Each structure stands twice: as structure tokens, then as C-alpha cells.
Amino acid sequence: MLRPDGRLSLDLDPIDHGPKDACGVFGVFAPSEDVAQLTYYGLFALQHRGQESAGIAVSTGKRITVFKDMGLVSQVFDEATLTSLRGRLGIGHTRYSTTGASVWHNAQPTFRATRNGGLALAHNGNLTNTHELESWLRELDPDQQVPEKKTMDSTNDTSLVTALMSSFGTEPIEQVAMTVLPRLRGAFCLTFINETTLFAARDPQGVRPLVLGRLATGWVVASETAALDIVGASFVREVEPGEFIAIDEAGLRSRRFAEARPKGCLFEYVYLARPDTTIAGRSVHATRVEIGRILAREHPVEADLVIPTPDSGTPSAVGYAEASGIPFGLGLVKNAYVGRTFIQPSQTIRQLGIRLKLNPLKEVIAGRRLVVVDDSIVRGNTQRALVRMLREAGASQVHVRISSPPVEWPCFYGIDFATRAELIAPGLGVDEICRSLGADSLGYISLDALTEATRRPATELCRACFDGRYPIAVPKGQAELLHLEEK
């Protein structure tokens, strides 16, 4: 299809791409280290959270430099670019946009000049009260240009927060942040810098993860603990919901801008986070293996082999095989280099669709009854094509097991799900979905069991994509559209 920037993109319909997180953020204060290199490696660890653009902002203590572009981290930055990004502190961002928003204009970090210098900001999440914030921005500075709504995703949120932060004259940024942050609603993890200080903040519900790490000569904040590991930082703790942190030559200062009301995203455990990340003291890998064990107990079946849909289905497939006694095997080979491309496919290639990403091992599959473990079903197109491909490869039976409950509601807090009308689960029973996929059987883990696997109480989790109970007010007009008054 033709993109807004005039390029042609590969449209693999009817294959959908599943849920995508908006972005990953990273920040470092380390005067004696090469902060651009550290940020580069940190973004590598967060590449799974966003694969369309990447950016780094660094400060020498007197001047901020921002470099960002479309593409993977390794495509955006080379040695010459990183060498030119000299600084004592910096932030980084890697982003995945919604359809039609993949343009340079939306890459982060954003930058604004202030009366005190400069401000660069990176954001993970999605705000739900942008109309209110835009009105406030006009009140603060009638001459201030409200960021143009070029897209319907969270990049406009980022520009809006940056504009608000730069609209308070000569007030110190820390003081400005304590005024602005309490007015934000929705999910947000922010890393931002002025010339001398690294800042970080997490929304009062802590929907998206944000962690604090310690270097020998400085500090790191990142979306996931895996990013701390790759730069050699030791994990200190999670940034608390409702916490604002400032780090400079004087050390680390922490203030609370709102009372903590934890509602961590349950889908981080299912799909979004790396398996080698830790959330709330619990390994994501361990959680996913436990999910597989529970799936085997809740939805047993006689079969010859358990195979994952790589890579996100692998830990749960291991757990399913372990608990069921059915052997685990690799029946699908993933092409690690498939991403978004700008080459228009022929009709023949379009029909092959899923084979660009996955290809079956026929000698493993032929004549066998398979249990196929995947993380979620969104529209159902991918699983439908996968089941058909496995049957063509000779599978005698295909039993699908899903390590999340049916996804029935859209996300307003930073995940690019389909609209409710596009989701397969609303209005259909499991048997109907099973017939639609062409599978021999279908089993989803129950919501209570998934919650139990995380070892966190349901009261501390956002489960809205599964149960429609949104912990933060959704954007204006959406409640009526989704009939949330009935929930």
C-alpha cells in the first residue's frame, strides 16, 4: 500500500502482525563513560519494543545534540555517528508506530528550546487526556503552537508534554515537572534531559515498566532490566509508580508527584517484555513457562508433539510439554530478518504471506498430532494461515493453545492492538473461533490462571484488553463508543 511518505510498503494481508508496544526508553548519567555507546547498546536490548525508528540525545553539560532516524538501531547509528555524539548524560528511544505513522516526524527523542536551555524527551505509553492538556498549553502560552495531530498515536503526546515542559519561563525543570506530571493521565514512562540533569518519571499506575540501575560511575534508567544487563549496570529497583527522579553531579533525588496505584500491564508477561527481563521481582521467562504448565492442566489433549510459534510461544510450549509429558519439538523455523519492507510484493508472494516469517519442518510435522502454542490471537489471520500451513506439511491434527485469554478490548495505554471491530474474540465463542481457524481444538488460558502465574494480585494489574475494565479513564468519546457504561 502507499504510505504517507510516498513509499510502498509490504502489505501481508490477510496476515496480521499482532500486538506491538509503542516504544522503549533508556537514559544514562555517567560523566566518565561514553554515554552514546551505552545508550546504543541499551536500545539494542529494547529493540523488540520498537523497530521503526530510533534516536539518541546527549548533553555535554552545555549543549544537547539529538540524532534520530527511521529504521532499526543498527541502521540508524554507525560508529561515526556515535563518535560525534559526545556527552555526559543522554537518553534513547526506539519506537513502533501504528499504521500510517511511520515517518521521521514521529521519531524520538523530541527537542524544545527553553529559556533555561534545551529539553529532550522520550516517552513510552499513551496519554488519555490530550484535549485537556492542549487547552492548558494554550492558557500557559497563547503563542505556543500546539503540536499538530499528524497521526493518531502517542507521538503527539510526546510533543505535547515537551511543549508543556518548555512553557514555564525560567522555572527550573524539576519544579516544572512537579507541576506538569500530576496533570498527565494515561500510561507514561518518561526519560528526559536538560543540559545537566537526567530525569525519569512513571505514571501513578505504573502501567509500563521502568527500572533503575547503577553503573560504577553513574546511573541508568530503562524500560526493562535486560537493558541494564547489556550495559553492565546492576539492578537497583523499579521506578515506583508516581515517582519522579532527577540525577546529576549531586547524585540521585527522588520525589513523588502522585500516590502509587499500581496497575502493571498483564500483557507484558504474555508477549511484550523480553523473557530475560524481570518484572516485580518475577522472571518473565519463569512466568511464561508456568503459563504453559497451567495451559496443559486447563486444556489437556492427546498429541505427539508440542511446538511453539517462535519466539514468543517458546517458553509456554516448554511448560506445556513439561506438564503434559508430550515431547517438545521445533516444528517451525523463523526468518529472523523479516521486518517491514518497502517492496511491493507480487500476488504470488502475498498469498504465501506467513512463509516469509515461518516455514515448517516437514520431517518433524508429517503424520503427527501437534499442539501449537502461541502467545495471543488478535484478528486470527496469522493462526488461520499457520494451521493451514501445518496441515499442508502433513500434520494429522493441529491443536492450538494460547497463553493469554481472548483479547476482546483495545488498549489505550501504549499497545497497538486492532480496534474492537477487528478483533476476532468479541461476539464469538471459543468453538466458533476454533472452527474459523480450522484447528482440531483451541484452548485459552483463563484470566485468573494467567494472573496467578505472574504472582501479582489482580488488583495490581491492568487486564483491560481481556476484561474491558480500564483502570484509567479512556480518551474522550471512547467510553460511549465501547459501551463501557455496561461494564
Give the residue numbers marked as catalytic.
23
136 by DSSP, 3-state: which? helix
Number of Cβ within 10 Å of residue 447's Cβ equals 16
Residue 406 DSSP class: -
Closest CA to 320 of 399, 239, 244, 417: 399
Q: Is 131 exposed, middle or buried (0-12, 13-18, 19+ CB in 10 A)?
A: exposed
Indicate the burial class of 385 (C-beta count within 10 angstroms; 0-12, 13-18, 19 or more).
buried
Estimate to the nearest angstrom the gap between the alpha carbon of 228 and the chain centroid. Answer: 17
Q: Spell out the alpha helix ranges (H) of 301-429.
A: 314-324, 347-352, 362-365, 381-392
- Distance, in Å, from the CA atom of 312 to the CA atom of 357, rounded to the nearest integer, reads 13
The C-alpha atoms of residue 423 and residue 268 are separated, in whole angstroms, by: 19
- Beta strand pairing status for 53-59 and 211-215? unpaired
CA atoms within 13 A on the CB side of 162: 24
CA distance 396 to 392: 10
Reading the block at residue 176, the C-alpha cell is: 516544572
Residues with Cβ < 8 Å from 251, sequence gap 6 or more?
A: none
How many other C-beta atoms are found inside a 10 Å radius of the C-beta of residue 137?
20
Contact between 204 and 258 under an 8 Å Cβ cutoff? The reply is: yes
CA 181 – CA 174 distance, rounded (Å): 10
Residue 7 CB: number of other CB atoms within 10 A? 12
Strands 305-308 and 369-374: parallel
